[in-house]
Amino acid sequence: MELPPQVKNPVPIAIRGAGYYLPDRVLTNADLEKMVETSDEWITERTGIKERRVADPAMSTSDMAICAAKRALANANMQPGEIDMIICATITPDMQFPSTACLIQKGIDARGAFAFDVSAACTGFIYALANAYTFIASDYVKNVLVIGAEKMSSITDYTDRNTCVLFGDGAGAVVLSRTDNPGHGIVDFILESDGRNALWLQVPAGGSRIPASTSSIGERMHYISMEGREVFKFAVTAMKRTTVRIAERNNLKAEDITWLIPHQANKRIIDAAAAALGLDASHIHFNIQKYGNMSAASTAVGLAEVILEKKPKAGDHLLLVAFGAGMTWGSLLIRW
């Protein structure tokens, strides 16, 4: 199989600040036991999830993203007017259009920026970071706000036990700029997709193929539909492949990875990716037990948590890996 492309002549582009937001409301496995035929034991054993956050009905994806973005700007000690570009990775936009990124631009009053969304499901935050990198590397922009934000509860069918136990809501954000420190910041990324199995994970209705109608609503077609077992098998292979490849081509061994920040779909998938690299569990950042699968927000919140709470030191390696609907998958390596 062909090797994924690699950035030529990398330039140092680093994270200047990070922030995240999680709704207050907690939905536990015990709560779900009252809603569908499931058990805390089944959910914990098969997924690693104990609880997830759920936004209030009035709160949208952009509302959560704006909170995370404001926190990232404050952490970077920057003003919204300094931001040139805003990218929001989401599959739960506030509405079909305008983009959620433009609503965030309004919410933080970043008048000098241009803004757009990236749709790559759970891999979206990695795709968005790679976009930010290439725009800054080409000198088209200086400072970029990248957000991963999802209100997964808005597309989750709480009568379907196959999916409703998995998902949660949240948002994470970072600000990226050039640095004077060669060899630091984003040092490599791999982006891949395979549309042949695009329909394994989908929200069938509400788009141009099946516009919203009383029958589409009656058939619950505005919720996530998922071929869980197929996705699981694919995810294990894709996550192992991208994790090992990015480490190998940067001459990194397991002991060189300070924090693996994986997409949090299923603890068993994360364990398989880490085992392929020989990485000890103490170097994996887990938040699946608290937040479930927040799609593009999982790696965004994970990265912000590692930066703010684990406080990486110069030279530490942070490795983001994810897979998602599309099917998409990828990885991104940061040298702190």
The residues carrying an active-site annotation are: 122, 263, 293
Q: Nearest approach, Cβ of 60 to ligand ACO (angstroms)?
A: 18
Beta-carbon contacts of residue 50 (< 8 Å; ≥ 6 apart): 28, 29, 40, 43, 44, 289, 290
Q: Contact between 42 and ligand ACO (CB under 6 A)?
A: yes
Q: Determine which residue in the list 210, 228, 254, 272 makes contact with ligand ACO, applying CB under 6 A.
A: 228
The position carrying tokens 């004077």 is 180
> In the range 182-201, which residues lie near ligand ACO by CB under 6 A?
201
- Part of the chain binding ligand ACO (CB under 6 A), chosen from 19-27, 171-179, 225-233, 279-287: 225-233
Strand order, beta sheet including 185-193: 185-193, 328-335, 317-324, 259-262
Determine, following the binding rule CB under 6 A, whether residue 325 of this chain makes contact with ligand ACO: yes
Structure tokens belonging to residue 111: 């008048």
| Size of the residue set binding ligand ACO (CB under 6 A) | 23
Residue carrying the six token digits 């949208």: 60
Q: For the CB of residue 243, give the shortest distance to ligand ACO in the complex, in Å.
A: 16
Tell whether residue 288 is a contact of ligand ACO (CB under 6 A): no
Residues numbered 254-283 forming contacts with ligand ACO, rule: CB under 6 A:
265-266
Among 46, 178, 222, 290, the residue binding ligand ACO under the rule CB under 6 A is 46
Span from 36-44, 175-183, 184-192, 277-285 in contact with ligand ACO (CB under 6 A): 36-44
Among 161, 178, 184, 245, which residue sits at the site for ligand ACO (rule: CB under 6 A)? 161
Q: Which is nearer to ligand ACO, 37 or 309 (CB)?
A: 37
Query: Phi/psi at 148 (nearest 5 deg)?
Result: -115, 120
Given 76, 128, 165, 187, the residue binding ligand ACO (CB under 6 A) = 165
Closest CA to 124 of 336, 334, 320, 335: 320
**Least separation in angstroms between CB 57 and ligand ACO:** 21
Pairwise CA distance, residues 78 & 311, whole Å = 19
47 touches 288 (CB < 8 A): yes
Closest Cα to residue 252, out of 166, 318, 299? 318
281-292 CB burial, b ≥16 within 10 A, e <16: eebbbbbbebbb
Q: Pick between residue 14 and residue 165 the one whose CB is nearest to ligand ACO.
A: 165
Restricting to residues 291-310, name those near ligand ACO by CB under 6 A. 293, 295
Radius of gyration of the chain (CA): 19
Report in angstroms how near the CB of residue 158 gets to ligand ACO at its nearest.
Answer: 12
| First CA to last CA distance, the chain | 31
Q: Which is nearer to ligand ACO, 103 or 236 (CB)?
A: 236
Residue 18 has which token pair? Answer: 């990070």
Which residues, including other chains, have CB under 8 Å from residue 218's CB and lie 6 or more apart? none
- CA–CA separation, 255 and 279 (whole Å): 7
Kindly tell me the burial class for residue 125, based on how many C-beta atoms sit within 10 Å of its own C-beta (0-12, 13-18, 19 or more).
buried
Contact 222, 154 (CB under 8 A): no
Look at residues 321, 328, 231 and name the one whose alpha carbon lies nearest to residue 283.
321
Q: Closest separation between CB of residue 216 and ligand ACO, Å? A: 19
**One of 13, 73, 87, 121 touching ligand ACO (CB under 6 A):** 121
* Closer of 114 and 286 to ligand ACO (Cβ): 286
**Region of 43-51, 58-66, 99-107, 299-307 interacting with ligand ACO (CB under 6 A):** 43-51
Q: Which of 34, 196, 209, 229 binds ligand ACO (CB under 6 A)?
A: 229
What residue ranges bind ligand ACO (CB under 6 A)?
Answer: 38, 42-43, 46-47, 121-122, 161-162, 165, 201, 226, 228-229, 231-232, 235, 265-266, 293, 295, 324-325
